């Protein structure tokens, strides 16, 4: 299996409830390594650009409002098969469908306030990592 990097975001519903450490523990205990991390407040323009792929969706406006409603923690996670591995530990987008032990089952509030984001492919991961981090910010 390949060593990959993926972009993770701990979202405003989770930072508001002080869950960064608990979510990081789930990631680290599952074998992922946090090789970069920044807590930031996204601007509306940044959130719109980051989620551009969803701009035609009915929930786009609400999603952007939510993502700028509080701080987020952007991270680069590294490990074997990290993109799929991270998606597995996050659980299904809608916490009602998430498996026990996943981040979303444990912590997410609903399909929008679902505590975490993760890249869905090698190409998306590269694009999303470069949205938040330069090479020098990532220390493996
Ligand atoms: P994420 O994995 O970051 O990708 C897009 C986000 O849109 C998703 O997590 C949710 O926060 C949000 N989202 C997805 N589906 C819905 C929905 N049906 N209604 C509201 N928000 C949604």
Is the CB of 93 inside a 6 Å radius of any atom of ligand 1? yes
Spacing, Cα 21 to ligand 1 middle (Å): 23
Spacing, Cα 82 to ligand 1 middle (Å): 21
In whole angstroms, give the CA distance from residue 12 to residue 140: 26
Spacing, Cα 111 to ligand 1 middle (Å): 6
Per-residue pLDDT at 1: 75
Atom of ligand 1 nearest to the CA of 90: 2
The residues that are catalytic are 117
Q: Which two tokens stand for residue 99?
A: 């498996």
Return the closest-CA partner of residue 94 out of 112, 121, 107. Answer: 112
Per-residue pLDDT at 85: 98
Identify whether the C-beta of residue 112 lies closer than 8 Å to the C-beta of residue 66: yes
User: Which residues, 6+ apart, have CB-to-CB distance to 114 below 8 Å?
Assistant: 11, 13, 93, 94, 95, 104, 108
**Among positive and negative, which fits the CA dihedral 31, 12, 107, 56?**
negative
Q: Give 10-residue mean pLDDT values along the chain (140 residues).
A: 96 99 98 98 98 98 98 98 98 98 98 98 98 97
Residue 7, CA distances (Å) to 17, 34, 53, 77, 132 in order: 21, 10, 16, 6, 9
Identify whether the C-beta of residue 75 lies closer than 8 Å to the C-beta of residue 10: yes
pTM value > 0.85: yes
Identify whether the C-beta of residue 10 lies closer than 8 Å to the C-beta of residue 73: yes
């Amino acid at each position: 299996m390949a060593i990959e990097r993926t972009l993770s975001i701990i979202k405003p519903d989770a930072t508001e409830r002080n869950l960064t450490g608990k979510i990081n523990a789930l990631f680290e205990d599952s074998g992922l390594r946090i090789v970069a991390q920044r807590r930031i407040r996204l601007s509306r323009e940044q959130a719109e650009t980051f989620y551009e792929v969803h701009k035609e969706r009915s929930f786009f406006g609400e999603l952007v409002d939510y993502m700028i409603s509080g701080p987020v923690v952007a991270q680069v996670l590294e490990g074997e098969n990290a993109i799929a591995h991270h998606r597995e530990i996050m659980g299904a987008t809608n916490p009602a469908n998430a498996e026990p032990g996943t981040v979303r089952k444990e912590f997410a509030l609903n399909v929008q306030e679902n505590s975490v984001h993760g890249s869905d492919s090698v190409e998306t991961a590269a694009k999303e990592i470069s949205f938040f981090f330069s090479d020098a910010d990532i220390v493996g």
